[in-house]
Amino acid sequence: MKKVFALASVFALTAATISPAFAADKAKKPKSDADKTPTYSFFKPTEKITNGSVTVEGHRIDYEAVAGTLVVHAKGWDDVTPVPGSEAAKNELKTPPAEASMFYVAYFKKGADPSKRPVTFLYNGGPGSSSVWLHMGAFGPRRVVTLDNTHTPAAPYKVVNNDWSLLDATDLVFIDAPGTGFSRIAGKDAQKNFYGMDQDAHAFAQFILKFLSKYGRWNSPKYLFGESYGTTRSAILVDRLETDDDVDFNGVILLSQILNYDLSVDGPETNPAIDLPYVLALPTYAATAWYHHKLPGKPQKLDALLAEVKAFSTGEYAQALNAGLGLSPKTRQDVAEKLHDYTGLPVSYILKANLRIDGGEFEKTLESDEDDTVGRLDTRFSGPTLDPLSKEANYDPQGSAISSAYVSAFNNYVRKDLHYGMGEIYLPEIDSIEHWNFTVIQPPYGNESTTPNVMPDLADAMKQNPDLKVLLNMGYFDLATPFSEGLYEMSHLPIPEKLFKNISYHFYRSGHMVYAHQPALVHLHDNVAAFIRATENTGK
Q: What are 247-278's pLDDT values in tens digits?
A: 999 999 999 999 999 999 998 998 899 999 99
Tell me the pLDDT tens digit for each residue of 366-414.
999 999 999 999 999 999 999 999 999 999 999 999 999 999 999 999 9
Task: Return the sign of the alpha-carbon dihedral for residues 504, 507, 511, 514.
Answer: negative
CA distance 110 to 128: 33
One-letter amino acid of 510: S
CA distance 402 to 145: 9
pLDDT of 26 above 50 = no
Q: Using an 8 Å Cβ cutoff, are 228 and 258 in contact?
A: yes
pLDDT bracket for residue 36 (50, 70, 90): very low
Res 148 pLDDT > 50 = yes
- Residue 5 has a pLDDT of 31
Who's near 291: CB < 8 A, 6+ residues apart? 379, 380, 477
Instruction: Please report which confidence band the pLDDT of residue 433 belongs to, taking 50, 70 and 90 as the band edges.
Output: confident
pLDDT (0 to 100) of residue 329: 97
- The residue among 226, 221, 228 whose CA lies nearest residue 204 is 226
Lowest mean pLDDT among 95-99, 315-319, 378-382: 95-99
Q: What's the mean pLDDT in 128-134? A: 97
**What is the pLDDT, as a whole number, of residue 315?**
97
pLDDT score, position 191: 95
With a CB cutoff of 8 Å and minimum separation 6, the contacts of 303 are: none
For residues 218 and 229, give the distance between their C-alpha atoms in angstroms, rounded to a whole number: 26
Identify which of 357, 197, 198, 210 has the alpha carbon closest to the alpha carbon of residue 281.
357
Summarize the confidence of residues 283-299 as an average pLDDT: 95
pTM beyond cutoff 0.85: yes
Domains of the chain: 7-17+58-262+421-535 (3.40.50.1820), 278-398 (no CATH)
CA count, 13 A, side-chain hemisphere, 341: 15
Residue 88: per-residue pLDDT: 64
Q: Could you give the angle at the alpha carbon of 519 between the alpha carbons of 513 and 524, nearest 5°?
A: 60
Contact 356, 343 (CB under 8 A): no
Paired with 372 in beta bridges are 384
In 10 A of CB 328, how many CB atoms? 10
Instruction: Report the mean per-residue pLDDT for the chain.
Output: 91
Mean pLDDT of 299-325: 96
pLDDT of residue 28: 43
Is the pLDDT at 452 greater than 50, yes or no?
yes
Q: Quick one: average pLDDT of 288-314?
A: 95
Assess whether pLDDT exceeds 60 at residue 33.
no
Residue 51: CB atoms within 10 A of its CB come to 9
Up-side HSE of residue 38: CA atoms within 13 Å toward CB?
21
Neighbours of 321 (CB within 10 A): 20
Distance CA 439, CA 422 (A): 37
